[in-house]
Amino acid sequence: MTIKTYNFLLQKNIWISITISLFLFSNSIIQTNSTTKSFADEINVNNNDNNNINNDKNSDVKNSDEKNSDMKNSVEEVDKNNTSKSQIQSTPKNKSIFTEIRELIHKLGDDSFVVRERASKRLLQIGSIAESELRRAINNNDAEISRRAEFILSQLDQIPQETNNENIEIFIKLYSTELDPFLRLSCIWQLGNPLPDSCKDGEGLQSLCRIIRSDKNEIMRNEATKCIIALAPLSKSTNEKWYQNMKRIFLHAGNDPIFKLIRDYASLRIDLNNLRKKIETELENQAIKSGESVEYPVTIPKTKELETRIKNFAADLDKFQSDPLYSNIRPGHWIDILVFYSIAELYDELGMNQERDNILKKTLTIREQKIQNRPIITLTEFEDKEMNEHFFAGNILYYKQRLKWAEQHLKLVIENGHVSLKIAACSEASMIRYFMADLQGTIEYLKKYSEIAQSDNFTSLVNNANQRIKENESKLLAYQAQLEAEKNNWEKTKELVDNTLEKEPHEIDTIILRYKICERDNIDPAYKNRMRTIIEKATLHIRQEAEQPTPDAETKMSQYIVACNKAAWLLANTNGEFTIAKDLINITIKHEPESSAYLDTQASVFALGKQFDKAIEIQTKAIKLSPEAKLYKNALEQFKKLKNESNKK
């Protein structure tokens, strides 16, 4: 359905908003008083702990035996004999990471065996950022530097690479080179942001794990920990990445409290995930025999052991978040809000509703606090900064298909936020109500949008305000038409449909509704005959949208995927060509195999082709991914009804 295209556009707008917010936040930091310096000194204290490496070239001379030694064993030997508190330090203050890399590569050929080993270990710790310099070093005239560089690269190649996501590369590079602690924190937060235009579906997870394993700065490690916990798995592929990285962390656990916290959380997630899969398989097998549907999400039977583990983890996490270090960071950030939802999800899986509801109430009371005399941003558009955090949290919960939870935060923003945030929250909340098959609720949010848009602040502060108001009016008419159709008030439906298409001639769901009107008796033949022209023009418009120029290949592909979905949805609901619709939606599913919205389209396409069993199977998968979307459940019932009617014939 075209409504789904909104998700793509919304995610673009969210990323722009986040970027602006971070930029303004960073500028406000730069302009603060001397408190900033003292905090920066405090946060970087570990970076200056033990920077002195023994460079006594007379105490340790290179020889061929040492050069041929096993590096792994020698690193362990260095660890055992090390007299300092920490052999490998984070990048020293006031030094670029690239300067450090070049110095470390030079030390690979040092006369001191210990210095060479420490440099090797530090380069492994820095990771992929050092690759380009290491590749150059392979051609170094010093055979020792060349050999060690080649070995380090071979080790780095064994570490699974994150993704081709350019955003991750930008955040990692900035994190590694930036001296301002708050900008480094911003990088961590963005690595923990699962939205498509940041680090989609938790693709930044591996980088967060590396920060925890290798960074000596406890504040950075703590914040990365929160991001990992807040990054509850989003999809099958994310699940696999998430659990794989958690297992890696287990290997480093020891007595480190941060590793222990993540280990306890991951082991809970793994156990609950396995139990859920087992229960779902049993219920699905029963459903096949009975012909009934499985009600998702399934509830895992509560046991004393699981209940105790969850409560213990919740207590440990609460203790972790109340650590004094957190008074120096940014209490009330959207990551803080989402961390609580990770506990709420655990309670929810076991049906511990009272405990879950207590957590949910707590999240709505969170407000951003001042940071050591740093005022919250007071620029006009961001004067209600804490509502900005709730808006971001609501966006991410919506993306994770936690529709009811997302709506609560959006309501909070509508009640207390700045005009531009209220408008955005109304638009998103209307979509949540639509997916929950509540057209009246959808309409109420859009009416609220119109009321807020009448204010002078909206037209003066928001770009393209008049265009956005016009688009909202078209949406409102379209949903009102759908509501009248549900009531079988076809005359009113026809009037609203015609008004909508006059304002927005390419609105796909309204075109589909007009097609349904044409299928009814007593419709003017001339009105029916215009239907084909309307569909042809809409198809051409979709093609033109797909061919719009974009700044990069990734955006082009996203644009193309959305267009294929829209075209397939139009064909599926206007008795179009099944083969073409199938080819189009297969392109979309190939790139987004776990999107409930696109699976919904695919199911409709198979229903068009009278393959009702396949349609039911795919729609069930969509419901499993988005169990709160009643819209998908209604479609499933429709497919079952069509199947029964087909069998009778």
Across 251-265, 330-344, 418-432, least confident range:
251-265
Categorize the per-residue pLDDT at 28 as very low, low, confident or very high, splitting at 50, 70 and 90: very low
Categorize the per-residue pLDDT at 263 as very low, low, confident or very high, splitting at 50, 70 and 90: confident
For 429-456, what is the mean pLDDT?
A: 92
- Residue 15: pLDDT above 70? no
What pLDDT is attached to residue 631?
95
- Residue 374 pairs in a beta bridge with 371
For 573-577, what is the mean pLDDT?
A: 92
- Residue 130: pLDDT above 80? no
The number of beta carbons lying within 10 Å of the beta carbon of residue 57 is 12
For 53-70, what is the mean pLDDT?
A: 36
Categorize the per-residue pLDDT at 230 as very low, low, confident or very high, splitting at 50, 70 and 90: confident
What pLDDT is attached to residue 170?
76
What pLDDT is attached to residue 83?
29
Integer Cα distance of 541 and 195 in angstroms? 28
For 315-326, what is the mean pLDDT?
A: 77
Phi, psi of 95 (to 5 degrees): -125, 130
What pLDDT is attached to residue 605?
96
Integer Cα distance of 105 and 130 in angstroms? 9
The number of beta carbons lying within 10 Å of the beta carbon of residue 311 is 15
Nearest Cα residue to 328 out of 450, 244, 209, 220: 220
Domain ranges of the chain: 45-158, 179-274+295-330+338-348, 524-648
Looking at per-residue pLDDT, the higher value among 17 and 134 belongs to: 134
- Residue 3: pLDDT above 70? no
What pLDDT is attached to residue 325?
61
- Encode pLDDT of 485-544 as tens digits: 999 999 999 999 999 999 999 999 999 999 999 988 778 888 988 998 999 999 999 988
Categorize the per-residue pLDDT at 234 as very low, low, confident or very high, splitting at 50, 70 and 90: low
For 338-361, what is the mean pLDDT?
A: 91
Average pLDDT, the chain: 76
CA 549 to each of CA 56, 277, 506: distance values in angstroms, whole numbers, following the listed order = 60, 43, 20
- Residue 34: pLDDT above 70? no
For 253-266, what is the mean pLDDT?
A: 78
Categorize the per-residue pLDDT at 259 as very low, low, confident or very high, splitting at 50, 70 and 90: confident
- Residue 271: pLDDT above 90? no
What pLDDT is attached to residue 200?
65
For 153-159, what is the mean pLDDT?
A: 61
**Percent helix, strand and coil across the chain, each to the nearest 5:** 75, 0, 25
Given a contact cutoff of 8 angstroms between Cβ atoms, the answer to whether 390 and 337 are in contact is yes
Q: Which of 62-71, 384-393, 534-543 has the highest mean pLDDT?
A: 534-543
Dihedral, CA of residue 317, residue 319, residue 323 and residue 327, to nearest 10? 80
| Coil, strand or helix at 222 | helix
Across 10-14, 186-190, 428-432, 597-601, least confident range:
10-14
- Encode pLDDT of 180-213 as tens digits: 777 788 888 888 887 766 666 567 777 888 788 7
What pLDDT is attached to residue 443?
96
- Encode pLDDT of 549-572 as tens digits: 877 777 788 889 999 999 999 999
Integer Cα distance of 425 and 611 in angstroms? 39
For 155-177, what is the mean pLDDT?
A: 64
| Rg (alpha carbons) of the chain, rounded to whole number | 28
524-648 CATH pick, 3.50.50.60, 2.60.40.1120, 1.25.40.10, 3.40.1190.20: 1.25.40.10
pTM (2 d.p.): 0.72
Given a contact cutoff of 8 angstroms between Cβ atoms, the answer to whether 364 and 341 are in contact is no
What pLDDT is attached to residue 52?
35
Percent of the chain with pLDDT over 90: 34
**394: part of which helix (H) or strand (E)?**
helix 385-399
